[in-house]
Amino acid sequence: MTTQTLGDIRELAAQLRVDSIRCSTSAGSGHPTSSMSAADLMAVLMARHLRYDWRRPDDPGNDHLIFSKGHASPLLYSMFKAAGVVSDEELMTGYRRFGSRLEGHPTPVLPWVDVATGSLGQGLPDGVGVALAGRYLDELPYRVWVLCGDSETAEGSMWEALDKAAYYHLRNLTAIVDVNRLGQRGPTELGWDTDAYTRRAEAFGCHAVVIDGHDLGEIDKAFSRAAEADRPTVILARTRKGRGFSEVEDREGWHGRPLPADMAERAILELGGERHLVVSGPQPEGGSPQAWPDGEVSLPRYEPGAKVATRLAFGQALTAVGARGHVVALDGEVDNSTHLEEFAKAHPERYFEMFIAEQQLIAAAVGLSVRGYVPFAATFAAFLTRAHDFIRMSAISQASIRLCGSHSGTEIGADGPSQMALEDLAMMRAVHGSTVLYPCDATSTAYLTEQMAERAGIVYMRTTRGAYPVLYGPDEQFPIGGAKVVRSGPDDQVTLIGGGVTVHNCLAAAGQLAGEGIRARVVDLYSVKPIDVETILAAADATGGRLVVTEDHYPAGGLGSAVLEACNDAGRPVRISHLAVRGLPGSGTPAELMEAAGISAGHIARAARELLGA
């Protein structure tokens, strides 16, 4: 079908509804009614407005289509069939089946899908990231179209997204809200009150358009207007859930339920039967993304003994790594604390301030990664925990993003526990395919920052607030997956393992023990995941299995867990003396707080003595 009259589009919409019913009924699960309400919107979009070469999903000029309401996957996959890239057989026999790429909710396993959705409230924020890339980096005229649910707009992250979209004048972004009045369990907060939605969208600086989401002409006009808008557009499309089949249309109790076979048969009849149209819509305009040439990376060099905070070294190193043209940075309104401001000064054109919106911070990084950029996002490590679901979904998106969390642990001192990250290592270790780094000095921080840019997946670096001595010479190397033996001798009796600030506490403890004639080996576990189990086991063998692991983190899921699990997995279970933050900290000096938490040099030395029975 190439003519695309409104009559043709009506047929296409009927096909999308019928196929959404057929594939979900055949799978025995899925969300046909959520698909049916948006079928007219998507039929008009793909036939007349989405400039997309379905055979070349990597074409940089392609528009981007994101289903923020990812549960409407039957509709999305039916569109893929209508585009001629998924066969009817694959749709009917693959949808939601084991081993199929047509998973219950869309993921980038499919070449036409940019990001994983299904956790509501994420697709629109991700779309903001893609639109940022289009407008400010690629400088290409592609548009980003995001289909959203009305109940989904209850998520604060949707408003973080619209707020940032307006701030960055993302006229290339269109949110299409399928206002079908119903959510999962019943009516939504606002029902069909499109005036209320309009006021909200406009309050965030967007252009709002209310339409009848089943009137093909109105839909067509709204999409044309969106393409010409000077601001992001929010199309509020009044629709009916289950539209097209009278037995379920606008009825409660049909969310997420496939139609039983007899009802599916009646529905398909009511919709005029099966069709197998193949549509060819508009094509991308062509053009190449703006070139961001790579320069020479010259990392900062630090004098051993000088006191430098790892957060400062991160900012300085990232500024140097910014010589690589695709490296971009995003801040959560704390760049003078994380030292991302160093990057902002040097590369303002590749720097995005996301303000205090951590979910949007992560989503924008994901969106930028969709277009091949190498994003680094930084905030206090504690505040990254707020965006955990976004980080988890980034892994499902198979995105490569780099995160830096500063102000970790009790070491931050006077600001108190609300600012202390004490769970971040556990959270980041648990993310699928993640890398977790925790350097203790400026040299290793700089080296690892450069490595982060090269590393795929979700890569996290934990930095420390206070300034501590540089331990390593500028030419030392720190491969990810390694560990450093910072202090050792031929007849060491006990191994002290730390990460970040506790490496310094371990060294101080080793000094105290040496004064008593006890020889301690010190291991810097700068790579928490993957972990250097060989170095740990070699140290355990050399020191009679006596290991003290100390971390500025709650006991669950951090360094201690990493050591125990790695040794166990290697078939060499070990016992450790585990010093971690077990109480609820308050305010104080870093020294007072680490002392109170039981992770100071004195506590480490005592634990070592106990292991030795001394």
If one asks whether residue 182 binds ligand TPP (CB under 6 A), the answer comes out as yes
User: Least distance to ligand TPP from the beta carbon of 35, Å?
Assistant: 8
Place of tokens 């289903």: 67
User: Least distance to ligand TPP from the beta carbon of 44, Å?
Assistant: 17
Q: Which residues contact 494 (CB under 8 A, 6 or more apart)?
A: 513, 518, 519, 520, 521, 543, 544, 546, 547, 548, 608, 611, 612
The angle that helices 73-83 and 6-27 make with each other, rounded to 10 degrees, is 120
Q: According to CB under 6 A, which one of 19, 40, 114, 152 is a site residue for ligand TPP?
A: 152
Q: According to CB under 6 A, which one of 151, 337, 464, 550 is a site residue for ligand TPP?
A: 151
252 is catalytic: no
Which of 86-94, 177-185, 508-516, 599-607 is the region at the interface with ligand TPP (rule: CB under 6 A)? 177-185
Which of 92-100, 179-187, 551-559, 562-570 is the region at the interface with ligand TPP (rule: CB under 6 A)? 179-187
Which of 145-153, 210-218, 453-461, 522-530 is the region at the interface with ligand TPP (rule: CB under 6 A)? 145-153
Is the distance from CB of 304 to CB of 354 less than 8 angstroms?
no
If one asks whether residue 336 binds ligand TPP (CB under 6 A), the answer comes out as no
Q: Which amino acid is present at 297? A: V
Q: Is 250 left (phi over 0), alpha (psi -120 to 50) or beta?
A: left
Quick one: 150 or 532, whose CB is closer to ligand TPP? Answer: 150
Instruction: Compute the 3-state secondary structure of the chain and give helix, strand, coil in percent, each to the nearest 5.
Output: 45, 15, 40
If one asks whether residue 359 binds ligand TPP (CB under 6 A), the answer comes out as no
Beta partners for residue 328, in sequence order:
375
In the range 214-253, which residues lie near ligand TPP by CB under 6 A? 241
Which of 144-152, 462-470, 474-482, 502-510 is the region at the interface with ligand TPP (rule: CB under 6 A)? 144-152
In the range 11-40, which residues lie near ligand TPP by CB under 6 A? 31, 34, 37
Check 152, 358, 423, 551 and give the catalytic one: 358
Is the distance from CB of 176 to CB of 147 less than 8 angstroms?
yes
Is the distance from CB of 241 to CB of 227 less than 8 angstroms?
no
Quick one: 120 or 133, whose CB is closer to ligand TPP? Answer: 120
If one asks whether residue 184 binds ligand TPP (CB under 6 A), the answer comes out as yes
Q: Which residues contact 32 (CB under 8 A, 6 or more apart)?
A: 20, 21, 24, 25, 74, 242, 257, 258, 259
Q: How many CB atoms lie within 10 A of CB 417?
A: 15
Q: What's the rounded Cα separation, in Å, for the pair 4 and 43?
A: 10
Q: What's the rounded Cα separation, in Å, for the pair 505 and 523?
A: 12
Quick one: 31 or 135, whose CB is closer to ligand TPP? Answer: 31
User: Least distance to ligand TPP from the beta carbon of 236, Å?
Assistant: 13
If one asks whether residue 178 binds ligand TPP (CB under 6 A), the answer comes out as yes
Q: According to CB under 6 A, which one of 20, 78, 180, 444 is a site residue for ligand TPP?
A: 180
Q: What's the rounded Cα separation, in Å, for the pair 497 and 347?
A: 38
Binding residues vs ligand TPP (CB under 6 A): 31, 34, 37, 69, 71, 118-121, 149-152, 178, 180, 182-184, 188, 241, 255
Catalytic residues: 358
